[in-house]
Amino acid sequence: MKGAILPGAEPFNFPGGDVGCLLIHGFTGNPSSMRPMGEALSRQSFTAVGPRLKGHGTRVEDMLDNRYQEWIASAEAGLAEIGKQCRTVFVAGLSMGATLAMHLACKHPGKVKGVVPICGPVFMKDFKMIFLPLLRLFVKTVPGIGSDIKDPAVAELSYDRVPLRALGELLQLCRLVKEELPRIRQPALIFAAREDHVVHPSNAPYILEQIGSSEKELIWLENSYHVATLDYDRELIFEKTAQFMQQHSRP
């Protein structure tokens, strides 16, 4: 039996203009981490849609058997939803949501006008990952990675445990998107926190170098940890994303 959606973890759809942004949350998180960004974009007359990825925003047990293809399907359903409302669609994502955003840009070039990865991984540098296949034989979950936020007044609504099988699926998704980077041609605005305790900051310059976009920029966040859309630099992210969308949605 699947768990009920946690209060605050519901998907959102903020109607605005005919230019919109799909906002994809991260691993073990839910749409609440992207909601403030959606609200900010909506105030500037952009449509903002935040889907809930399968297995997220309910209870950690619902993630135990997730496959990365199911997260892709959830993101693609969100892309179809916003595509019915907007003539021009951008895709932004936090953490694994950034990885999914880049995958959508690669697979749906006719639907995605530009991509905004925020603290997104295409590889993991934690040496403990090599023990993952063995560890999964003995335990199902380990302590969570959520709420890596510098601002002490803010907490992320996320699972307090990480399902190891799902973590293995995340690693597969990262490997897939790492190979897809050269085929992404849309404009890209990349954000990365210099002090990120979840995704190694070296991912960002690698993405900048490898992505096939001719128009691309990396903005370093100097006052945030991993969940940057809820942290001190959130207004900078919202403002720069709105400018990016305005610039690249002009006829």
Give the strand pairing for 88-94 and 19-24: parallel
Catalytic site includes residue 214? no
Catalytic site includes residue 65? no
Of residues 77, 66, 82, the one with CA closest to residue 17: 82
Handedness of CA 136, 140, 142, 144 (dihedral sign): positive
Catalytic site includes residue 249? no
Residue type, 9: A
Annotated active-site residue in 74, 95, 158, 249:
95
Give the strand pairing for 161-163 and 114-118: unpaired
Sheet with 216-221, strands from edge to edge, namely 12-14, 47-50, 19-24, 88-94, 114-118, 188-193, 216-221
Round to whole Å and give the CA distance between 191 and 156: 19
Residue type, 122: V
Annotated active-site residue in 103, 213, 226, 249:
226
Annotated active-site residue in 148, 196, 231, 233:
196
Task: Name the residue with tokens 């203009």.
Answer: 17
Handedness of CA 170, 175, 179, 182 (dihedral sign): positive
Catalytic positions, written as ranges = 95, 196, 226
